[in-house]
Chain A
Amino acid sequence: MKTFVFLLVLIAATSSLAAELTIKIKNVKHDDSTIYIAIFVNEENWPDGEPFRALSTPAEADVTTVNVEIPEGTYAVSVYQDINGNGQMDYNALRMPKEPWGVSNDAPARFGPPKWKRMKFDLGAEPFTAEFSLKH
């Protein structure tokens, strides 16, 4: 059974109209941990800056879905699954992620972080689903 987490987001006076974004995370192999989600709103903040929104949800195998309401705009999403519950992403000695992670559009990470142009998507007035898979 899928769990839907609805987040009510306060929209600042300067923001545009609210739109509904569904984040659909596939290839979730463990359902006893938490998935942390970051929504980025512009290229300048990716990947080192603060995300526009940061949230978490209990992992549901095989697909975890989260709905949020945020202003219309251009976004990118990155997530990781905290398998061991220590509240942080685990890495090996060369800082390679050792817990499942994913980004919107399944943008590839090659010699650097996934490119913004490969991750980004437009959220308009119509509800939109950003669907991607965890990499293990």
Chain B
Amino acid sequence: MLNRRDLLVLGGAGSLCGLMAPSRATTSDTTYESFHKNLPLKPWLRLYEGIRDADTGLTQCAIEGDWPPDLVGALFRNGPGRMERAGRRYQHWFDGDGLIQKWSIEPGAKVTHHARLVHTTKYLRDESNNELSLIGFGTAGDHSIDITGPDSLNVGNINVLARDDELWALWEGGSAWRVEPESLKTTGIVELSTESAGLPFSAHPRVEPNGTIWNFGYVSHLGALVIWRLDPGVKAPKISIVQRSPMTIPHDFVVTDRHLVIPLPPLHYEPNRAVEQTFIDMHVWHSNGSLDLLVMDKNDLERNFIVELPAHWLFHYSNAWEDKEGVIRFEGFRYDDPSLMTAAFSAVMRGELPQSLSLSQLVQFRVDTRKRRADVEVFDNGFAACEFPSIDQRRSTSRHEWLTMLVNDSASNSALQLGLLNGVARVNTSTGEMSRFTYPEREIPEEHIFVADPKGIDETEGWILGTSLDYVADETHLNVFEIGDTTPEPIARATLARLMPIGLHGQFVAAT
């Protein structure tokens, strides 16, 4: 029979969604009404409007410039795609139903685009009922949904992971979804073993050069971090549980050849059961607290320690490497607070400008594992904001020099007012050497990634590949930059004559 301990855990879904909150009558949806009142006045809001078709079908793209003959394969991207249905609208950008986009690049510079919503349990139920369940990361108000675990709310909308011949759509608080790489059809939840079934598999797994995948997940109300290790050719993952309280929202982590480092910003899980709260509202930012770096021995996770740094919020990290003296280095983008996530991405869903700018700095962390000390160095690059790091994945867990990232070059730039970025930069983390490209004001870049030249071995041999959204011309572009160009601009671009919703992360899978 079920016992108390089991059922306490069963309630884990609640930690993601504020389920103790009372139901709120939803006779009208103020988010929906506010957004559509603002939409005709603010063209940039179209980035957050969302799509209505579950499957866009295959579209041939127009090509400009000289597409590199060796740049062949597929760029898979994920992000919140469907935002509203039947007069209801999600209250936070992160709650949109996952949309996988596939840019297929075939020999002869033939580029096609295809997008399909991830058919999660939640999506299928809403589709069947022609409604939008108002429950999620930053959305609340509807508790009619039957929740049997975190995956009841899993929208699979943050990232993708290509593993063997499979493609997984990743969320943060639940399982991965299996998606057919060819058709983008969702075929179900990834369950690799009974022990691991239903455990959270977050959206930024780290892949070692030998194919070993590391990841983590968090269960807030249990104060539990789940550590995953998937070895190549082995179906069942190795699972470890590390207790951590109070829990925070760790979005990303890093791996070296010897250690895992999970940065834990002081955004503590402190739910107030007496009032209605979304999951994100259950967290309290402690500006006088510490950014804790949880450092764990890869081979014995119980051998771990915490190094405290001044409070900062971070989403993403580059790649970590460890020298012979046991010093770990990795880059991240640090913010004074998490208001980009806690406020700005709710404001845009109402069609409002964020109340304040979310500025971020590129920093390098140095963690001395022997002396158990850490410090942070700021890269003085003059950017108002930086995000979305990418490195040559062949350097994963070992030393990298070059980092590709999105930037915003001015605090007065209109994109920053929207919580967005306006350019791409490539920086040498050792020398500070840098090149950058700024997009036209009406064109918003999404994550740009480094793609290695299959004929090359060095991290300077390859291309930068990234999408951009022209909300005036109603177009989505796939841009290619050549590495080493000191005054870079796209050497080629593919154009989809349709504006797609602004998304999050992706992965390039080279043709074999």
Contacts and interface: CB of A to CB of B under 8 A. Distances in A.
Given A92-B199, A93-B195, A108-B147, A80 B1 contact: yes
B44 to A, nearest CB: 39
B245 to A, nearest CB: 15
Nearest to A95: B9
B20 A111 contact: yes
A103 to B, nearest CB: 8
A114 B7 contact: yes
Contacts of B9: 91, 94-96
A26 to B, nearest CB: 12
A2 interface: no
Interface string B1-16: 1111111111111110
Which one of B13, B14, B148 has the highest number of Cβ atoms from chain A below 10 Å of its Cβ? B148
Contacts of B83: none
Contact of A80 (B2, B5, B224): B2
Contact of A96 (B1, B3, B146, B149): B149
A101 B2 contact: yes
A135 B198 CA distance: 14
A111 B2 contact: no
Contacts of B13: 110
Contact of B198 (A78, A80, A98, A111): A98
A51 interface: yes
A48 interface: yes
A101 B13 CA distance: 16
Interface string B180-219: 0000000000000011111100000000000000000001
Contacts of B198: 92, 96, 98
Contacts of B20: 110-111
B473 interface: no
Interface in A64-120: 78, 80, 89-98, 101, 108-114
Interface string A110-132: 11111000000000000000000
Nearest to A40: B1
B219 A94 contact: yes
A108 B197 CA distance: 21
A111 B19 contact: yes
B226 interface: yes
A136 interface: yes
B196 A51 contact: no
Contacts of A78: 1-2
Contacts of B10: 96-97, 109, 113
Contacts of A110: 11, 13-14, 19-20
Contact of A92 (B8, B15, B195, B221): B195
B221 A111 contact: yes
B15 to A, nearest CB: 8
Contacts of A135: 146, 148
A113 B2 contact: yes
B148 A94 contact: no
A93 B11 contact: no
Contacts of A109: 7, 10-11
Contacts of B219: 94
Nearest to A100: B148
Contacts of A36: 1
A63 B15 CA distance: 32
Contact of B12 (A94, A98, A101): A94
Contacts of A18: none
Contacts of B19: 108, 110-111
B241 interface: yes
B1 A94 contact: no
B343 interface: no
B58 interface: no
Nearest to A135: B148
A111 B16 CA distance: 11
Nearest to B17: A110
Given A47-B3, A80-B1, A136-B148, A94 B11 contact: no
A36 B15 CA distance: 29
B12 A38 contact: no
Given A111-B11, A113-B7, A135-B146, A92 B194 contact: yes
B11 A112 contact: yes
B239 interface: yes
Interface of B: 1-15, 19-20, 146-149, 194-199, 219, 221-222, 224, 226, 239, 241, 273
14 contacts: A36-B1, A38-B1, A78-B1, A78-B2, A94-B219, A95-B6, A96-B12, A96-B149, A97-B6, A98-B194, A110-B20, A112-B8, A113-B4, A135-B146
Given A101-B2, A112-B7, 6 more contacts: A93-B195, A93-B241, A94-B224, A95-B6, A111-B20, A111-B273
